[in-house]
Amino acid sequence: MEIIRKLQDMQSRAVDMHQQGKTIAFVPTMGFLHKGHLSLMREGRKRGDILVVSIFVNPAQFGPNEDFDKYPKSFEQDADAAKKEGVDILFNPCKEELYPERYQTYVNVEKLQNYLCGVSRPLHFRGVATVVTKLFNIVKADAAIFGEKDYQQLVVIRQMALDLNLDIEIKGCPIVREPDGVAMSSRNSYLSEKDRKSAVCLYQALNEAKKLVKEGVKKSSEIIMTASALIRSYPGTEIDYISIFDPETLEEIESVEELSRMAMAVRLGETRLIDNILIDPRKKGSRA
Ligand code: AMP
């Protein structure tokens, strides 16, 4: 596995690959890799001749009071894990090269960026869309793989690729969970023992919602009320939002009639966790 740090080196390697007729699959990450990231790499292996993974903690997607400075890092372990997954190139650029002095260009996915997580993180998706565009241009990927864990991010990127005519296939992959159902996340490492126990409430609330829908409950407000009560019954939880929405437009829906998505953000101490689930009102009967 090759480790590349300079933008120009990455760009010229990508040009070489294409000249050799090879396709490039790309998995962007912020590092501190876990099994969720590795599942994207496995998908990437299938979607391109060359698999490029980036590790870059993107300052543009963190708000002023967020965790940019303390975001967990483990480059050596990450490099070992990536190598074991058969990654060809680990791209680890530095922020000075990606955002030099006088940097001033940003990508705004005007509507989608404002819903859900965009309410409490107003510049987050602008930062994500910007860095992903830059990375796509540097890595010259033919396909890019993202996790459904960050569902809004996936929808924002798909829209951006469509709107900007990017010639790149965007592939979403299912959420990888811990044995107790907690969605894997680099940020889980921040949780105290007590908060880690409470973290199961997100997936439990999502499953409770799914169960209600299967039993025939349609009203979003009723489903959200039950989910909120379940979350509040766990110590230390503070709900940021819970929403049931159209999976493409992200607009809230009042009644679950079609395939929908439910997402939430919950704070546990200083840590903000997110999770989401597919809600299918057509599948009635058995429990999840
Ligand atoms: P991050 O390093 O948190 O920016 O995530 C990099 C990529 O991994 C994003 O596409 C995430 O959606 C994806 N990802 C993170 N956690 C998970 C998970 N538990 N399951 C599947 N994909 C994930």
How many percent of the chain have pLDDT more than 90? 98
Give the pLDDT of residue 180.
98
Question: Which of 29, 92, 189 gets mutated to test ligand 1 (max ligand atoms within 8 A of its CB)?
Answer: 29
Query: 115 φ, ψ to 5°?
Result: -80, 180
The one-letter code for the residue type at 81 is A
Widest pairwise Cα distance in the chain: 58
Summarize pLDDT for 84-98 with one digit per residue, the tens: 999 999 999 999 999
Q: Please give the structure tokens belonging to residue 100.
A: 């030099």
Tokens of 175: 């959420």
Provide the CA 53 distance to its chain's centre, in angstroms.
15
Quickly state the pLDDT bin for 105 (edges 50, 70, 90). Answer: very high
Nearest CA to ligand 1 atom 19: 184
> To which residue do tokens 């992903």 refer?
132
Would you tell me how many other CB atoms lie within 10 Å of the CB of residue 205? 29
Phi-psi region of 165 (alpha: psi -120 to 50; beta: other; left: phi over 0): left
| Tokens 């903690």, located at residue | 57
Using pLDDT thresholds of 50, 70 and 90, give the confidence band for residue 286.
Answer: very low
CA angle 259, 43, 179 (to 5 degrees): 70
pLDDT of 274 over the 70 cut: yes
pLDDT at res. 288: 40
For ligand 1, whether the C-beta of 90 sits within 6 Å is: no
Nearest CA among 98, 71, 68, 67 for reference residue 5: 98
Q: Is 186 in the pocket of ligand 1 (CB under 6 A)?
A: yes
Whole-angstrom Cα distance, residue 206 to residue 165? Answer: 35
Q: Is 34 a catalytic residue?
A: no
CA–CA separation, 12 and 109 (whole Å) = 29
User: Whose alpha carbon is nearest atom 5 of ligand 1?
Assistant: 29
Q: Is the pLDDT of residue 287 over 60?
A: no
Q: What pTM, to 2 d.p., does this model score?
A: 0.97
- pLDDT at 283 > cutoff 70: no
Please measure the distance between the N-terminal and C-terminal CA atoms of the chain and give it in whole angstroms. Answer: 41
* Residue having the nearest C-alpha atom to atom 18 of ligand 1: 36
